[in-house]
Amino acid sequence: MSDNNQDKTAPKGERPKGERIAKVMARAGLCSRRDAERWVEAGRVKVNGKLVTSPALNVTDADAVEVDEKPLPDREVSKLWRYHKPVGLVVSHRDEKFRRSVFEELPDWMPRVVSVGRLDINTEGLLLLTNDGGIARKLELPATGWVRRYRVRVFGSVNEEALAKLKDGVTIDGIRYGAIEATLDRRQGRNAWLTFSITEGKNREIKVICEYLNLQVNRLIRLSYGPFQLGDLREGAVEEISSRVLAEHLGLEGGQAKSSSEKSGFAKRREKTSRPASRGKQARFNNKGNKNKGDNFAKGATKPKKYYPEKSEGETSERPQSRKPTSHKPKGKPSAHRRRDT
């Protein structure tokens, strides 16, 4: 094990062995990397029995790390979840305005997770969650080439020629936006539905581009992120992606079929029950390229069970039975001109 000055004393051009201590702590599920750095500076962390005061330290598996006099938990297996984010939630662990966060709404059985990118408070749809910050940063990079697809409802007059020109990219207020595929799906009065496909994911990219085209966004839904689709995942539901799919798309080692420990469910405010999901119609905004019914997320994934929220007070748990139609047959023998019921 090296001391606190290991990064400074390492030969020039040679990378120190191991990983930063804050990264190791975050992967153990204790806290975020930023919080880990604060804990180190506050004197709460020891390595091999020695107090550490600087986060500029690399550790290996051979080092004994303690936090608050307790051994560091074993590193968790890297996992990824699909989450259907509702409108009205922020994607932040700390919000200065104390608004509701998606992380406060997740089921209790989930570990501490971070999001892959962010969605605005008024944006809904697919949000990927992971317990591995390294995976999150990797998937956020435009270098992956993964397409993020959105369904957009706008107010205003849509110029299809202007939409077609976005494939060459556009510069707005000095910011360059790369190639964008935008198509008009249908008009609905003064509103219109568009589909946007982007690869960069700059801050408020779609809303900025729509404003540039004199269009006002009044609904924004993320349908997919790379190979992962929103599909028919219900609002507020969270579903783990199988390790086999992670191995296929992320190159993680040890990929295998979904185990019984992989779970899905609803957020806290939507308490889960054991009632199985019904097989409904395919999602309205399903990927056009998915021809097989039910192929609504990454190829090779298996559909785990979903859980539905319990009924609130005042609601009946049973469907109201339809009233049988009252028979209005006349008494006695029907006359010849009356048609018999068949």
pLDDT at 195: 97
**Which domain range does residue 54 map to?**
6-71
Q: Which of 7, 95, 120, 295 is catalytic?
A: 120
Position 83 in a domain: no
Position 21 in a domain: yes
Position 196 in a domain: no
Tally of domains in the chain: 1
| Catalytic status, residue 7 | no
pLDDT at 294: 39
Position 324 in a domain: no
Position 308 in a domain: no
Sign of the Cα pseudo-torsion (287, 291, 294, 297, in order): negative
The domain that contains 13 carries what CATH number?
Answer: 3.10.290.10
Return per-residue pLDDT of the chain as tens, 342 residues: 444 444 444 555 555 678 889 888 887 777 778 888 999 999 999 999 999 989 889 998 889 999 999 998 877 788 999 999 999 999 988 888 889 999 999 998 888 898 999 999 999 999 999 988 878 888 888 888 899 999 999 999 999 999 999 999 999 999 999 999 999 999 999 999 999 999 988 889 999 999 999 999 999 999 999 999 999 999 999 999 998 888 888 876 543 333 334 455 555 544 443 334 433 434 444 444 444 433 444 444 444 434 333 444 444 444 444 444 444 445 555 544 444 444
3-state class percentages of the chain: helix first, strand second, coil last, to nearest 5: 15, 25, 60
Position 50 in a domain: yes
* DSSP track, 164-190: HHGGG-EEETTEEE---EEEEEEEETT
Torsion (CA) 286, 289, 291, 296 in degrees, nearest 10: -40
Position 313 in a domain: no
